[in-house]
Amino acid sequence: MGIAPEAQVETVAPHEARSPAGAKQIAKDSLIGKRIAKLDAPDKASGKTRYIHDMNLPGQLHAKILRSARVHARIKRIDVSKARALPGVHAVITAADVPYQRPLGVGKDHLPLKSDRVRSLRDEIAAVAADSPEIAAAALKLIEVEYEDLPPLFDAAEAAKRGAPLLHEGKEGNVAMTFDYAHGDLAQGEAESDVVIEDTFQLHYVTHCCMGVSGVIAEFDAAGGLTLYSQTQVPFLHKREFADVLGIDPGRIRIIQPPIGGGFGSKLDIYPFEPIAIFLARATRRPVKLVFTREEEFAVSPTRQPVVLRLRSGAKRDGTLTFREVETLHDNGAYTSWGATTPFVIMQTISSLYRVPNCKYHTSAIYTNNPYAGSFRGYGNLQGTFAVESHMDKLAEALGIDPLEFRLRNAQDPGEVTGQGMHFKSCGFKDCVRTVASRSDFQRKHREYRAQWGKPGRYKRGVGIASMLHVGGGAKIYPSDGCGTILKIDDFAHVTLMTGASEIGQGSETVLAQLVCEELGVPLDAVTVVNNDTDITPWDVGVHASRTTFIAGNSAIGAARKAREKIMAAAAKVTGHDAAVLDLRNGMIVLAADGEAIMPLAKLLRSLHFSDKAELVMTTHYYEPPSQHQDKGFKGDVSAAYAWASQVIEVEVDTETGIVRMKHVWGAHDVGRVLNRLGIEGQIEGGVVMGQGYALTEELVIENGATRNPAFRDYKLVTAPEIPEMDISFIETLDGEGPRGAKGVGEAPAICIAAATANAIYNATGVRIYKLPFTPENVYRALHAQGACERSTAGSGQ
């Protein structure tokens, strides 16, 4: 390779002249584990970041959607003529005006625009594009719809009964989806049990409440290519799905994601508003922007999956778990989105959080005329963990074993392969349990608070513990669970990292930049991350399953290592040193032994570029995790790594009002390795408070298919004065496959909170509550039903 001397092609840039080669020594430094500020934070804190709501394209129209006024009805007639006549209206469309639309979503069971039948109050039946949102809203009121009511189904158990009207043709029993799983021999497990308990747990509707409401802008170019400005968490999957729904070539769809105002799983599926905006853009040949109001966001966005879960558990006198049998009923709502598939995760917790030799699991998701559920941070694991960890406490008590000891006796160890086929290569579970217990003084408090049962006093303290298992190295549910990276370094040693992985506020952009800096020895401000344009970035399966740091991180490291190899080979030639003795530090080629700076990286890159064999440093890498697809029985090592966490919660229960105050949360997380301490703390603190809302305050009230509280006034998010004290510990198990040893953490912190709170309320009052949320009213009723306010409840409390 002929490499030209630098002087022949250009002079040294001024900023390099300040640090001439050879003039200093650069110590080895690492960004791993440091508190690294998010790259996007300065603009966000200054109000400069342009979210989709802040974007306006020239010539843009504004869209609104007309939704059904009936929960279940035939549409007899739609008359849009008055709406079309309103000045400022450019298009009014119904299903009849759309030449091609195909069913969308996980179940492919509904059209973007419904034609002859509506099955929920969320059903889209017409849409308007107009000069302003106000005109579009006025036009909606001019659309006349004549309905013929059909009998509604609001209860999944009723809907599943023989003879119930069918909501979708061909869906016998209104069954949208079922899951069955088993390992071991249930009968044998039961025969070996000294204690068997059975309870039914009820998990409620909650919703994501992203601060940025849903929105989209659709625009066609003159040649028919579609550009979609979208908040999706899965841009590459969406290209495919939009192509199917709209009947257009996926190659002609470009998805650009402006900064996203919160995701939490809400943007994992395709929802009708996006195809509708596209239909309107096509009809008007203008860019069309469609943004929800907050009321719409509450009333028509997907929810967390509500679950009724019946759990039977058994154990031997020595504290060994013998079996678990689970039957769950999921209200699927009118259509099938990701909520129906949450059993995929629930069964992992049932089968593999603790060692359970015999296990059986059945779920049915049943169509009703209620709202439908999507994916939501934790993906069923909050629901499953609530039941399992409530039972772990109950079994321990029935056996007379300390709840901590009982858990440790059944906890997984590294190397375990579970009945479901999950292989725990790194596993800090027991360390998590012991760490939170010791930091919270759990055992002493648990004994002392329990000793207060039945004693006078309005305010009762309690502690509860719960643990969780979640995928921490992706989840192989699509044909590929991979992520691609393109990396280029310019003549000034500035690195551009093009990654398929989206940033939704969680900090992936920053952690990926950090990992690249670590390989290439460049400062953080020498890295730009491009992560939001499907025409530029390589494929990624999407932001879900706590996978981005692990999968996109490994992909970025792979691309950076290839770049480093090229650089080091060139550096060896230019400097005359063996590549093995060289290193890259702070943008300089240095001698690894003493850090003596030899030449700026930028200078080396230019000499490579402006040489006889002109060459740029550009690399690509596609990382596919070494995980397995599960078989038809849901067995297989679905993730490349698994994350663990334990949390202890201390509550104060006001027995006169039912108010539960979350005083303190101790968390210990097996995260493999901390990459960005600031970022990971933020993920955990935010997850804890989201879990707190699920446990204590949030409930989407659904009555007769209608959302009764579509406003922050009536849907209570946790506010700053209510947050608990938090004590967070990290268990660094250095996963062998993880990027620099790290595992995923995004969902973990929210998962245990409701379960640990249930156990803490029991420890405080002797009353176990099986139904969320623990609002004052629900807690007050439960306390009074069991007489815990007045009478002595010392004893079993059952």
In whole angstroms, the minimum distance from the beta carbon of 713 to another protein comes to 5
Closer residue to another protein (CB): 107 or 687: 687
In whole angstroms, the minimum distance from the beta carbon of 509 to another protein comes to 12
Give 729: exposed, middle or buried? Use CB within 10 Å, 0-12, 13-18, 19+. middle
Closer residue to another protein (CB): 504 or 700: 504
Closer residue to another protein (CB): 115 or 293: 293
In whole angstroms, the minimum distance from the beta carbon of 43 to another protein comes to 8
Q: Which two tokens stand for residue 426?
A: 């790194």
CA distance 325 to 327: 7
CA distance 126 to 92: 7
In whole angstroms, the minimum distance from the beta carbon of 286 to another protein comes to 18
CA distance 515 to 500: 16
Closer residue to another protein (CB): 186 or 689: 689
Closer residue to another protein (CB): 590 or 728: 728
Closer residue to another protein (CB): 336 or 506: 506
Q: Which helix (H) or strand (E) holds 367?
A: strand 358-367
In whole angstroms, the minimum distance from the beta carbon of 552 to another protein comes to 17
Closer residue to another protein (CB): 162 or 713: 713
In whole angstroms, the minimum distance from the beta carbon of 507 to another protein comes to 7
In this structure, the number of other CB atoms found within 10 A of the CB of residue 424 comes to 21
Bond preceding residue 414 cis, omega within 30 of 0 = no
In whole angstroms, the minimum distance from the beta carbon of 331 to another protein comes to 24
Closer residue to another protein (CB): 51 or 780: 51
Question: Which residue is it, tokens 């393109």?
Answer: 486
In whole angstroms, the minimum distance from the beta carbon of 233 to another protein comes to 12
In whole angstroms, the minimum distance from the beta carbon of 661 to another protein comes to 14
In whole angstroms, the minimum distance from the beta carbon of 720 to another protein comes to 4
In whole angstroms, the minimum distance from the beta carbon of 275 to another protein comes to 24
Give 346: exposed, middle or buried? Use CB within 10 Å, 0-12, 13-18, 19+. buried
Say if strands 195-203 and 459-471 run parallel, antiparallel, or are unpaired.
Answer: unpaired
Closer residue to another protein (CB): 264 or 762: 264
CA distance 545 to 470: 8
Closer residue to another protein (CB): 293 or 528: 293
Closer residue to another protein (CB): 37 or 96: 37
Phi, psi values for residue 283, rounded to 5°:
-65, -35
Contact predicate 786/449, CB 8 Å = no
CA distance 411 to 548: 27
In whole angstroms, the minimum distance from the beta carbon of 748 to another protein comes to 14
Buried b / exposed e over 191-224, threshold 16 CB at 10 Å, is ebbebbbeeebbbbbbbbbbebbbbbbbbbeeee
- CA 482, 208, 503, 61 torsion: positive or negative? positive
Closer residue to another protein (CB): 262 or 419: 262
In whole angstroms, the minimum distance from the beta carbon of 483 to another protein comes to 21
In whole angstroms, the minimum distance from the beta carbon of 710 to another protein comes to 10
Long-range contacts for 601-605 (Cβ within 8 Å, ≥24 apart)?
601/493, 601/520, 601/521, 601/522, 601/567, 602/13, 602/16, 602/491, 602/492, 602/493, 603/6, 603/12, 603/16, 603/21, 604/567, 604/570, 604/571, 604/574, 605/489, 605/490, 605/491, 605/492, 605/493, 605/567
Closer residue to another protein (CB): 209 or 604: 209
Helix, strand or coil, per DSSP, at residue 621:
strand
CA distance 517 to 515: 5
Q: Which of 474, 488, 481, 464 minimizes the C-alpha distance to 397?
A: 464
Closer residue to another protein (CB): 120 or 510: 510
Closer residue to another protein (CB): 316 or 716: 716
The alpha carbon of residue 159 and the mean position of all alpha carbons in its chain are separated, in whole angstroms, by: 30
Amino acid identity, position 235: P
Closer residue to another protein (CB): 123 or 747: 747
In whole angstroms, the minimum distance from the beta carbon of 208 to another protein comes to 8
Residues in the chain: 798
Closer residue to another protein (CB): 508 or 639: 508
Contact predicate 485/556, CB 8 Å = yes
* DSSP annotation string for 233-267: S-HHHHHHHHHHHHT--GGGEEEE----S--TTTT
**Which stretches of the chain bind another protein, using CB under 8 A?**
35, 37-38, 40-51, 53-54, 208-213, 259-264, 293-294, 504-507, 678-679, 681-682, 685-690, 711-713, 717, 719-721, 723, 726
Amino acid identity, position 512: L
In this structure, the number of other CB atoms found within 10 A of the CB of residue 267 comes to 31
In whole angstroms, the minimum distance from the beta carbon of 55 to another protein comes to 9
Q: Which two tokens stand for residue 166?
A: 């069918």
CA distance 613 to 626: 37
In sequence order, the β-bridge partners of residue 94 are: 126
In whole angstroms, the minimum distance from the beta carbon of 689 to another protein comes to 4
Phi, psi values for residue 797, rounded to 5°:
75, 5
Give Cβ neighbours of residue 400 (< 8 Å, ≥ 6 apart): none
Number of C-alpha atoms within 13 angstroms, CB side, residue 213? Answer: 18
CA distance 335 to 347: 22
Phi, psi values for residue 784, rounded to 5°:
-75, -35
Closer residue to another protein (CB): 363 or 375: 375
In whole angstroms, the minimum distance from the beta carbon of 605 to another protein comes to 30
In sequence order, the β-bridge partners of residue 600 are: 588
